[in-house]
Amino acid sequence: MKTLHSVIQTLNPYAAYEKTQSTRLRKTLMCDNVKRLKIIGIIGSSINLLLLVLYYLDRGFSGLTTIEATLRISWILASFVYIIGVGSPHSPEAVKKRQFIFFYGATGLCLLFASLITAVLSVEQGSTFLYLINVLLIGSFLYLSLLEMICIISPSFLVLVLSILFTPGSILLVQGNFVNVIASTAFAVVIAQTILTSKLTQLASTQTILDQKKELEYLIDLDGLTRIPNRRKLESYYSDHPHTSFALLMVDIDYFKNYNDTYGHLQGDQCLIQVAQCLSHYPFEGLTTRYGGEEFVTIIILADLECITPLVEAIRQSIQDLQIRHEASPFGVVTVSIGYVVTETRRENHSNETTVLEDFILKADQALYQAKENGRNQIKLYQE
């Protein structure tokens, strides 16, 4: 079984990666392959067009009616169809099934045309150079697995074998020519496998680094205890959402110092976690962050200004409904006081985002102070 797995990985290096990663790697390399084959198509078409012009200048219109000329004209047309039809995917997400079909079809035809032209050339007319340069170019310039190379090369190689059997004057019968074809084909396959394996390792390593960077960025934005966003995330979220209206809430756990003194700091941490999770999972569009200690700041994106007061009251009630025991509080359970500010001002100037946010937080904090002065376990809207 282990041997079979090794064979599969040799034929298809993508098998070494899990399905989602393998698909992304295929699409990433296909972006490059599409562009690279376009370059091959343009260069090959230019060379074939130049040869057709030379044939015409040498023999007139009859120079364009030979089998070789017809194949070269077909080659140019096929290249044109590929360049126009394959599109230009700029990212792995943009790669569709159409790109795969056009790419594999055009690559196979490129080598097949080279084989057909080589097959119709007699000893006096030319050499195997055309096939050799194409198979080596495909093997070294495109990212293809061993299995893909075998599938692409097989039809063209079969044409060359048949030309030996049924064409007495084939240039492949000249001593060494067919040996060169076999050696070049094998060399191209080995080159392709080596290049692909190296490229896949490089891409996989790069993706791992990017994933780790993304994970670190995610962790940097989280509060270490409650696992909800922190103040850093609050600032970036505010900057990224220049909405017409929003509410900013300053939420403070009532008598939290007494809670710690009564139950200990470990139990206090559990209380913070429960409150944080309740706030962060409450159904509204916005963000809840731990601002510091037992304080939380919540930004709520508003669609309707009239709904904000009932929503803030519902948030306060949701904490009380947790029924976290708090003997050192007159309410008997953990409660919160909330001060909030509402703005309808559209933010046009983003140069002083931090200052504006701090101003809103200060206003919400003033409203919170009033709520606590009025007896706690209540909400208070900031008013000028």
Per-residue pLDDT of the chain (384 residues; tens, 9 = 90+): 556 455 555 677 888 888 888 898 999 999 999 999 999 999 999 999 999 999 899 888 888 989 889 999 999 999 999 999 999 898 888 999 999 999 999 999 999 999 998 888 776 566 678 888 999 999 999 999 998 999 999 999 898 888 888 877 777 777 678 888 889 999 999 999 999 999 998 988 887 887 777 777 666 888 889 999 998 888 888 888 776 688 999 999 999 999 999 999 999 999 999 999 999 999 888 999 999 899 999 999 887 777 899 999 999 999 999 999 999 999 999 999 999 999 876 555 555 666 788 999 999 999 999 999 999 999 999 987
pTM above 0.75, yes or no: no
Find the distance separating the first CA and the last CA of the chain, reported in whole Å.
76
Inter-residue contact 272 to 334 (CB < 8 Å): no
Count of other CB atoms within 10 angstroms of residue 177:
20
How many whole angstroms separate alpha carbon 187 and alpha carbon 193?
10
Alpha-carbon separation of residue 215 from 193, 222, 227 (angstroms): 33, 11, 14
341 bridge partner residues: 248
Inter-residue contact 172 to 116 (CB < 8 Å): no
How many whole angstroms separate alpha carbon 337 and alpha carbon 330?
14
Inter-residue contact 137 to 107 (CB < 8 Å): no
The count of residues in the chain is 384
Identity of the residue numbered 118:
T
Inter-residue contact 269 to 213 (CB < 8 Å): no
How many whole angstroms separate alpha carbon 271 and alpha carbon 294?
10
Give the SS3 label for residue 98: helix
Select from 198, 203, 217, 293 the least CA-distant residue to 253.
293
Q: Which helix (H) or strand (E) holds 381?
A: strand 379-381
